[in-house]
């Protein structure tokens, strides 16, 4: 269905993204593209419908043929009825403002007769199960709904191939399930060929027929999921587990892994309960903290305290009030109730001090970290950060090195990878040596190795007495990196306890390892390996 | 013993319980219908300075808006247009009182007079304020204010985006550009707010030029990123695919240019040269016809189709007809009753109300009852 024939893609002044890659994706397969950040997953996806190089520039040698049409002489618009392409941020790709109109847009462009359009819109609404959203404005939809509408919008042109770039990365676990269910329906019932890239491999690998691995040297390796994942340099928990335990085959789902555990008779000792360490002094205390926007109640009178040296995960579905709470804790969003940040013997409210002082009390790395950057070079940003915090020159650069990111000082912050940019922003925010550090959704766009690096950084920060709060959808990251978990729902705190208690008590928040070894409260592969008899 | 059993004449069918996607009775009227009606009313009020007629027409327009507007965001804009209209009157009044040239007639009160030096053209500020001057200002500014309210009404009743969706194919690309531009403004505001908020996280210490670039650069980068993503989305969904690569024929281009010139000339003659209404109308009419033909011909090279276009039925014809009738009545009045339409400035007198004026206001008000109600969930 999709044939890459000796394809080399390169941009000026950099090594080729793909070099002499040849593979054939058969009709009806669900192929997951894996690889570390910056190995060219998005470029490869774009090459399937000709966006690369027709739209993005660069040069492509060799040939990409989809359903008999070569991208050499077909522009992306000429392939619209063969390939449906959904980008990383569905909202940015919407052309109209209503669900129904958006679904019809592609067909209008193809010039289909109105009667056909009407029928196909109805079919597509039902196929993606979004009939009740038909008259809703696109801006009012939740992340999962937007993703499903975006898929529906390309499906209406009845393509044979669906290309999805990170379809579930921004979603909470439940919304990700919805989207994935929709995608599997398309593969199994409609017979579409689906190619998708995803960082959170644990969410999609169970559905994968084949895996296309980009090792980063320009080659591309396509093969059955189990075989390729056993070698690839991306390690979702199931891969890590099977490698640690020396299993011959990588289980693709929790069910397979559980069966393997049962048949092999693997028995674990229950993990040692955490030594009840003495909790650090309270660094941040909130009482009846409320945030409202107009008549929307985002955070409803939350009372809680956070100790220094503690890493807390803040979880909950999209729109549960996590971000609002974080911004309120920093004092950057108007809120009611009391916030007191204790440094030494004094307590201060970040809302009542200057912005400069507030960031010394509480520092926030927001979800769109790039908003904080505005200079042309990494060097400039570091120097500006030193000036802002009145610290000696080179402080920020030194922190950046300590974070393990040796960035070229002359590079433009926009050109950095997601992980590098996060490191830069984190370094800038740490330059003020705050007592409390907040990170809003930091793992978005990070691969497994980068997440491990972030985990180490956070652990070091906590060890030096900083109070760290991380809001995240990534249960695997929360299970590995945090000691305490607070779950928000509907603006209220609905669960608060050690990560082990909270994460193993409900299937929605349980990491895969915990599901495999249920009822033992094992959180990570390392713990499981320690408990192996 | 017999028992009487009640027989149900007509079986009662229960209405299905409404769900969130139940389609409700009613429809919105075609946007171009509303725009035609509102422009008709605006042209009608532009022909008069009679305060009674202005008030009647504005009341009729507002009644229609209140009766037929939806709960959509753009429907709230009518209040903004009212504020704008009042501002127009206020500004005109201010200048009339201070600088204004009309000083004869019944003096109401006298403002202290200041004579500006010769280099300021010897203008005198203040002086006597007369009843005639005040009345003239209110009625003359009121005319502009009433036109503004008519345009505001069109905005409130018709979704500007839907109106743009219904343009002829030749203008399709233009309308897409306008629609995207319309959505860029709120996005810029949104990312501006986000970046400004983020500035605080870095202490917000920078001042002056640096503070401006600190907000402007990320906002622009954001805007460019978004527009690239949008362009990629449109490209991969087939935008411009049916676009015939052939250029528009030379004849069509010349015809369109000529037609537009005719329209401009006709409008100019109609409004600017007194006593040549027939020639102006002829030029305008000819220009419009030629434009329609030209657009149709050049639109053939783009084969996009429309999903569920707004229907054009009798309510739309009635609405448009009301606008045209309003112009006709106002034109007839201006021709036969010039003193009633443009009351003499002095002496100040109560404006006369010609019966045809009441008819005009009623005609403008007809769409309030002659159009279908919008669906309940949109009201």
Q: What is the pLDDT along chain A (533 residues), one digit of tens a residue?
A: 899 999 999 988 888 989 999 999 999 999 999 998 888 898 999 999 999 888 888 899 999 999 999 999 899 999 999 999 998 888 888 888 789 999 999 998 888 999 999 999 999 999 888 998 888 888 778 888 899 999 999 999 899 999 999 998 888 888 888 899 999 999 999 999 999 999 889 999 999 999 999 998 889 999 999 999 999 989 999 999 999 998 888 999 999 999 999 998 888 888 877 666 677 888 999 999 999 988 889 999 999 999 999 999 999 888 888 999 999 999 888 899 999 999 888 899 999 998 888 989 999 999 888 888 888 899 999 998 888 888 888 889 888 888 777 788 888 888 887 788 888 999 999 998 899 999 999 988 888 888 998 999 899 999 999 999 999 989 999 999 999 999 999 999 999 999 999 988 888 788 999 999 988 888 999 888 888 87
Do β-strands A362-365 and A346-348 pair in parallel, antiparallel, or remain unpaired? Answer: unpaired
**pLDDT for B248:** 62
Tell me the pLDDT band of B11, cut-offs 50, 70 and 90: low
Above pLDDT 90, what percent of chain B? 25
Q: What is the mean pLDDT of chain B?
A: 82
Phi and psi at residue A362, to the nearest 5°: -130, 125
DSSP A367: S
Q: Work out how many CB contacts closer than 8 A connect A with B.
A: 165
Residues 6+ apart with CB under 8 A from A253: A205, A206, A238
Closest chain A C-alpha to B65 CA, distance in angstroms: 23
Phi and psi at residue A286, to the nearest 5°: -125, 145
Task: Closest CB to A87: pick one of B202, B233, B239.
Answer: B233
Closest chain A C-alpha to B243 CA, distance in angstroms: 9
Token representation of residue A166: 């990170």
CA B327, B329, B331, B334 torsion-angle sign? negative
Tell me the pLDDT band of B14, cut-offs 50, 70 and 90: low
CB-based contact (8 Å) between B317 and chain A? no
Show the beta-strand stretches assigned E in A349-448.
362-365, 436-440
Q: Which residues on neighbouring strands pair with residue B13, listed in sequence order?
A: none
- Which residue of B307, B308, B375 to mutate against A (max A Cβ within 10 Å)? B307
**pLDDT for A5:** 93
**Angle subtended at Cα A472 by Cα A470 and Cα A473, rounded to the nearest 5 degrees:** 165
pLDDT of B72 strictly over 80: no
Tell me the pLDDT band of B19, cut-offs 50, 70 and 90: low
Task: Closest CB to B194: pick one of A87, A92, A371.
Answer: A371
C-alpha dist (Å) from residue A334 to A28, A318, A324, B202: 52, 21, 10, 18
Tens-digit pLDDT profile for residues B75-111: 777 888 899 999 999 999 998 888 877 777 788 888 8
**pLDDT for B57:** 95
CA distance A173 to A475: 8
Residues 6+ apart with CB under 8 A from B207: none
DSSP A52: H
Tell me the pLDDT band of B121, cut-offs 50, 70 and 90: low
Show the beta-strand stretches assigned E in chain B.
107-115, 124-130
Is residue A53 reached through a cis peptide bond, with omega within 30 degrees of 0 on the bond before it?
yes
Tell me the ipTM for this assembly.
0.86
CB-based contact (8 Å) between B235 and chain A? yes
B305·A429 Cβ contact <8 A: no
Tens-digit pLDDT profile for residues B213-252: 878 888 888 888 888 888 888 888 888 777 665 556 777 7
What is the SS3 assignment for A145-210? Answer: HHHHHHHHHHHCCCCCEEEEECCCCCCCHHHHHHHHHHHHHHHHHHCCEEEEECCCHHHHHHHCCE
Task: Closest CB to A77: pick one of B214, B218, B235.
Answer: B235
DSSP A532: B
The residue of chain A with its CA nearest to that of B227 is: A92
Task: Closest CB to B241: pick one of A85, A109, A384.
Answer: A109
CA B25, B29, B31, B34 torsion-angle sign? negative
CB A528 within 8 A of CB A276: no
CA distance A185 to A194: 11
**pLDDT for B357:** 93
**pLDDT for A368:** 84
- Which residue of B201, B245, B301 to mutate against A (max A Cβ within 10 Å)? B201
Q: Which of chain B's residues have a Cβ under 8 Å away from the Cβ of A83? A: 236
Residues 177-206 of B with CB under 8 A from A: 179-180, 183, 194-195, 197-198, 200-206
**pLDDT for B321:** 95
- Entry pTM: 0.81
| A428-453 b/e (C-beta count within 10 Å ≥ 16 → b) | bbbbbebbbbbbbbbbbbbbbebbeb
CA distance B292 to B297: 9
Axis-axis angle for helices A237-245, A254-264 (nearest 10): 20
Torsion of CA A372, A378, A380, A382, to 10 degrees: 70
Q: Which of chain A's residues have a Cβ under 8 Å away from the Cβ of B221? A: 370, 414
């Amino acid at each position: 269905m999709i044939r890459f024939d000796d394809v080399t893609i390169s941009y000026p002044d950099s090594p080729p993204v793909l070099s002499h890659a040849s593979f054939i994706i058969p009709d009806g397969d669900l192929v997951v593209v894996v690889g570390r950040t910056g190995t060219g997953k998005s470029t490869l996806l774009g090459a399937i419908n000709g966006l690369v190089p027709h739209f993005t520039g660069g040069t492509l040698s060799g040939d990409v043929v989809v359903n008999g049409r070569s991208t050499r002489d077909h522009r992306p618009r000429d392939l619209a009825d063969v390939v449906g392409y959904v980008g990383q941020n569905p909202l940015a790709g919407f052309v109209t403002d209503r669900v129904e109109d958006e679904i019809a847009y592609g067909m209008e462009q193809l010039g289909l007769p109105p009667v056909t359009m009407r029928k196909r819109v109805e079919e597509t609404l039902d196929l993606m199960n979004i009939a009740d959203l038909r008259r809703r404005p696109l801006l009012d939809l939740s992340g999962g709904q937007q993703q499903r509408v975006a898929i529906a919008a390309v499906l209406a042109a009845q393509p044979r191939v669906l290309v999805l770039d990170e379809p579930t990365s921004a979603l909470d676990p439940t919304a990700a399930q919805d989207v994935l269910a929709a995608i599997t329906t398309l593969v199994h019932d409609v017979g579409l060929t689906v190619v998708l890239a995803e960082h959170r491999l644990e969410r999609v690998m169970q559905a994968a027929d084949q895996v296309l691995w980009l090792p980063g040297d320009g080659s591309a390796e396509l093969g059955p999921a189990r075989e390729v994942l056993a070698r690839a340099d991306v390690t979702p928990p199931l891969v890590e587990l099977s490698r640690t335990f020396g299993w011959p085959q990588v289980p693709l789902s929790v069910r397979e892994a559980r069966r393997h555990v049962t048949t092999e008779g693997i028995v674990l000792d229950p993990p040692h309960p955490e030594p009840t360490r003495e909790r650090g002094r309270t660094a941040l205390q909130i009482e009846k903290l409320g945030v409202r926007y107009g008549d929307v109640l985002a955070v409803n009178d939350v009372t809680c305290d956070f100790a220094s040296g503690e890493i807390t995960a803040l979880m909950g579905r999209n729109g549960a009030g996590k971000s609002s709470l974080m911004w309120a804790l920093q004092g950057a969003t108007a809120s009611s109730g009391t916030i007191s940040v204790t440094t030494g013997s004094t307590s201060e409210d970040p809302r009542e001090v200057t912005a400069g002082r507030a960031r010394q009390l509480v520092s926030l790395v927001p979800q769109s970290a790039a908003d904080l950057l505005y200079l042309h070079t990494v060097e400039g940003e570091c120097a500006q950060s030193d000036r802002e915090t009145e610290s000696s020159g080179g402080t920020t650069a030194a922190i950046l090195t300590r974070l393990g990111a040796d960035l070229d000082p002359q590079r433009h912050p926009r050109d950095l990878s997601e992980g590098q940019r996060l490191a830069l922003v984190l370094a800038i925010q740490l330059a003020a040596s705050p007592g409390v550090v907040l990170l809003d959704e930091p793992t978005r766009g990070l691969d497994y190795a980068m997440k491990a690096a972030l985990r180490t950084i956070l652990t070091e920060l906590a060890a030096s007495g900083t109070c760290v709060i991380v809001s995240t959808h990534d249960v695997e990251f929360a299970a590995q990196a945090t000691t305490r978990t607070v779950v928000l729902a509907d603006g209220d705190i609905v669960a608060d306890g050690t990560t082990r208690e909270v994460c193993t008590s409900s299937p929605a928040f349980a990491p895969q390892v915990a599901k495999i070894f249920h009822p033992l409260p094992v959180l990570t592969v390392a713990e499981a390996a320690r408990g192996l008899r | 013993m017999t028992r009487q059993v009640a027989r149900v004449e007509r079986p009662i069918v229960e209405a299905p319980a409404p769900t969130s996607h139940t389609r409700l009775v009613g429809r919105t009227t075609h946007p171009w219908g509303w725009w035609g009606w509102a422009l008709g009313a605006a042209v009608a009020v532009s022909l008069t300075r009679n305060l009674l007629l202005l008030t009647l027409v504005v009341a009729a327009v507002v009644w229609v808006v209140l009766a037929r507007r939806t709960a959509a965001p753009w429907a709230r804009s009518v209040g903004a247009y009212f504020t704008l209209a009042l501002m127009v009157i206020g500004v005109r009044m201010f200048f009339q009182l201070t600088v204004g040239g009309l000083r004869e007639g019944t003096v109401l009160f006298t403002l202290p007079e200041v004579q500006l030096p010769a280099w300021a053209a010897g203008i005198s500020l203040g002086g006597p304020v007369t009843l005639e001057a005040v009345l003239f200002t209110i009625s003359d500014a009121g005319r502009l204010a009433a036109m503004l309210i008519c345009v505001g009404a069109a905005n409130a009743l018709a979704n500007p985006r839907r109106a743009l969706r219904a343009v002829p194919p030749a203008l399709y690309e233009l309308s897409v550009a306008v629609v995207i531009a319309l959505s860029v403004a709120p996005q810029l505001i949104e990312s501006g707010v986000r970046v400004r908020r983020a500035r605080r996280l870095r202490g917000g210490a920078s001042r002056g030029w640096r503070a401006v670039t600190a907000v402007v650069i990320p906002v622009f980068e954001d805007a460019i990123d978004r527009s690239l993503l949008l362009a990629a989305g449109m490209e991969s969904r087939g935008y411009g695919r049916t676009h015939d690569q052939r250029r528009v024929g030379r004849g069509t281009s010349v015809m369109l240019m000529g037609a537009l010139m005719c329209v401009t000339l006709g409008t100019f003659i109609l409004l600017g040269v007194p006593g040549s209404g027939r020639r102006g109308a002829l030029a305008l009419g000819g220009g419009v016809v030629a434009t329609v033909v030209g657009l149709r011909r050049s639109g053939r090279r783009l084969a996009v189709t429309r999903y569920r276009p707004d229907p054009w039925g009798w309510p739309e014809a009635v609405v448009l007809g009301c606008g045209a009738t309003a112009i006709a009545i106002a034109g007839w009045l201006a021709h036969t009753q010039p003193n009633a339409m443009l009351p003499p400035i002095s002496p100040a007198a109560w404006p006369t109300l010609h019966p045809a004026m009441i008819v005009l206001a009623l005609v403008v008000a007809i769409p309030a009852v002659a159009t279908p109600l919008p669906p309940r969930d949109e009201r």
